[in-house]
Structure 1
């Protein structure tokens, strides 16, 4: 009975083993109680702490929605990131395989002649046939395999977060490019209206010159102003084409395959974006989740490095057949078996290699912790920057709207005065230039506000949270019984 208890205890040690290295604890990061730039920010109603998964729908633009739906399957950077995530999943499967024994089959045939002078049962040339099944297993006594699986699982989760971060970045880039294109549409429409207005003014000036009440110089100035406006309209067209080409590439198409019709104007109002509190940002940013998972992977690799200090044990067994007669190869008389060898190996001196590897693992962990904390700080900075920009641009928009109205009124009065002959054409040109400049500035600011709204959504994680990270089983990917076969089934 004592021997049986001892054997069971030894088997339990072999199966369970112990795990080297520290257990993972998420690093502490500085988290403010509230966002500095939240003052005056109007929260979404009804109040919601998270954005919808399809966050771009809050802008209410059907064309933008249609483009975003094409990103997932068409963008080649995302296709590459998805393949890298699958690669990380297969690394987990490879690490888990070390839990199980390995088995192999060998077959052999020898034809030989014993040396003369030896005492053998059968002299002359002989044949020897053999086959054997070999099984070997290295128990995970010190948790090296467990820590490696833990590290690869965390790396696969980090890869999943990287994929989401790239997806969000691509979606945000598409939305920003789209709104920039719409701002160019609005500018082109403004310039076309301006060209039409300048043409009317030129016609009036020519008539006044023909009647002898205007100078030739007034006609030349009106013509120059008209052509300058036409040149600006052409330049906007070039920029719009380039922006449309960029959108095509983002959705995985060639520029020739995408033609977006012009729109009349930009959205008149911006959506209210739920910002929430700073503490939730750590759970909503995929790049922060990626950095945190890399810390967990680095922590597990410390355990792998520590386990290398301890001896390894390999258990093996062989069962086979051997005979000089091929027809009797699989008979019981030809069978043989062996338990062992049971081999233990322990490196006593290695010139400090293991110690250096352990120090490298600790240093790598320190690096990942610093990078995680930097990712957190960068996340807070991006939210604050977006909030500050949106608040400032909203104030600028109000000022510019007033300037646009004043410039339009001044232009109307000046044109009437010019027609009445009370002011020179120079006054008209000045008023027209002021009106055009203010209206272009107003359009540009509205485009910037839309762009920073997208930037804020991106800074808040775009409706994602770390609960979407794959668990340890999902991080290992799908597998089937055919994966253990000695030949590929794909």
Structure 2
């Protein structure tokens, strides 16, 4: 009995077909290079898609923080749960390809009614049987459902990569923000120290009759102004460290960060690569492709609803009066049955579901195109910001050097009686603004690299995502 059913199942599965379109990975037209790219003029170098995060972010403290975040961040853990859930749901869909077999063991004792049966007797029935049921996948609806479930599983895997990528970028961005805030704090503290000394000098000059009380008051105003800015920076540092704690999945705390912005080094000759690389490197592009594959599979399911369904049932077991004879060959019984169900009238429901599936596929295609356009735009904007940040930093460094030279000259001329003290204060303000501008420009440059890294897909590789479970689990069918 079981051999016959197996042969029937195999013959039906081999001879069955799959209706609906087969998925083909889209190959959109791509530009030759990113808008605002200057790589051709600058020469080649390592592309960001080739770099793992620990190669790009070389600060040991930052690497340690990112590693901790990837292990403990709650969003990442939630994404992992979503992946496992999608894999389990795939297991449910895959099980529908195979027959269900249930074991039935029953015992019954019956006393017939003398009034109705005419025989006041007691009978025993013992039964052991296997119940078999199977819906043959004649038109591929079950296999299409497997394809859809597999696409959902892969999409959740790419979503996990996207969550990890966003986390890496956020940790790096927050870390750079802390370094920049600490840099501003150091500049302010140095300014306070310098103005404290200036106030002492101004007071001595006033006591010696070399200057007026106005100069002393000007020095006090400048000192108070420098001190007032420190509180706001300390508040920024506190908030950034609290944010970093959350990203690491920990309670708010202070971090003993000893690095500075100037310690941050980047690999030489970074380039963005070619636009087509984002098709395989950006997790959201891979998710959009899987959504397209899922919609294609669901259209196949809708198409299969037009055709008949074949259900096969069977029983194989033993039935006897005495339990001791339950496995006696004379008590063997079996049954094989089948039913063919074909849709005749459903008030247009199947046609409507088919239309919905077609529209869903069209929408998935539009979403894919929009994701591609958004990706190209993000990379182009990030590239432009990265190139401009390098120019900005170089220009601000020149300004800082000139401002420092100007202050030294102003102090000398003031001591020689050529300039008024107000000119020295003006030179000090210019230097302070220039130092803060360099600090800000360095922060912008580093954050622009983080933004570009994220926009290009973050250096992950396809092998970082779990294998296509359809290819693995369907290999034996």
> TM-score, structure 2 length as denominator?
0.91
- Whether the 8 Å contact between 2:59 and 2:264 is mirrored in structure 1 is no
- The correspondence of residues 136-285 of structure 1 with structure 2, limited to 5 A, is 136-256=133-253, 259-267=255-263, 270-271=266-267, 272-285=269-282
Counterpart of 1:99 in 2: which secondary structure? coil
- The correspondence of residues 78-93 of structure 1 with structure 2, limited to 5 A, is 78-93=76-91
Counterpart Cα distance in 1 of 2:104 and 2:9: 31
The yes-or-no answer on 1:295 pairing with 2:292 is: yes
The yes-or-no answer on 1:73 pairing with 2:80 is: no
- Whether the 8 Å contact between 1:172 and 1:454 is mirrored in structure 2 is yes
Counterpart Cα distance in 2 of 1:166 and 1:210: 65
1:447 CA displacement: 0.3
> Which residue of 407, 415, 424 corresponds with 1:411?
407
The yes-or-no answer on 1:368 pairing with 2:364 is: yes
Counterpart of 2:126 in 1: which secondary structure? strand
Counterpart Cα distance in 1 of 2:257 and 2:48: 33
- The correspondence of residues 415-430 of structure 1 with structure 2, limited to 5 A, is 415-430=411-426
Counterpart Cα distance in 1 of 2:422 and 2:204: 17
Q: Residues 9 and 138 (structure 1 numbering): CA distance in 2 closer, same or farther, change over 3 Å?
A: closer
- Whether the 8 Å contact between 1:36 and 1:384 is mirrored in structure 2 is yes
1:147 CA displacement: 0.7
The yes-or-no answer on 1:457 pairing with 2:456 is: no
Counterpart Cα distance in 2 of 1:349 and 1:375: 41
Counterpart of 1:147 in 2: which secondary structure? helix
- Whether the 8 Å contact between 1:285 and 1:465 is mirrored in structure 2 is no
Q: Residues 157 and 336 (structure 1 numbering): CA distance in 2 closer, same or farther, change over 3 Å?
A: same
Between 1:22-31 and 1:8-17, the stretch displaced more is: 8-17
Q: Residues 264 and 378 (structure 1 numbering): CA distance in 2 closer, same or farther, change over 3 Å?
A: closer
> TM-score, structure 1 length as denominator?
0.88
Which residue in the other structure is 1:343 paired with? 339
Unaligned runs of 5+ in 1: 1-7, 478-490
1:235 CA displacement: 1.7
1:12 CA displacement: 3.0
Counterpart Cα distance in 2 of 1:264 and 1:26: 46
Q: Residues 434 and 295 (structure 1 numbering): CA distance in 2 closer, same or farther, change over 3 Å?
A: same
Counterpart Cα distance in 1 of 2:28 and 2:404: 53
Q: Which string of whole-angstrom CA distances, capped at 9 and with x for unpartnered residues, describes residues 206-264 of structure 1?
A: 111212232223222211211221221222122112212222222222223x5223435
Between 1:198-207 and 1:218-227, the stretch displaced more is: 218-227
Counterpart Cα distance in 1 of 2:470 and 2:343: 37
- The correspondence of residues 32-111 of structure 1 with structure 2, limited to 5 A, is 32-39=31-38, 47-49=45-47, 51-111=49-109
Counterpart Cα distance in 1 of 2:11 and 2:332: 32
Counterpart Cα distance in 2 of 1:375 and 1:264: 37
Counterpart Cα distance in 2 of 1:71 and 1:11: 50
- Whether the 8 Å contact between 2:176 and 2:261 is mirrored in structure 1 is no
1:128 CA displacement: 3.3
Counterpart Cα distance in 2 of 1:222 and 1:70: 47
Counterpart Cα distance in 1 of 2:195 and 2:397: 22
Which residue in the other structure is 2:427 paired with? 431
Aligned residues: 467
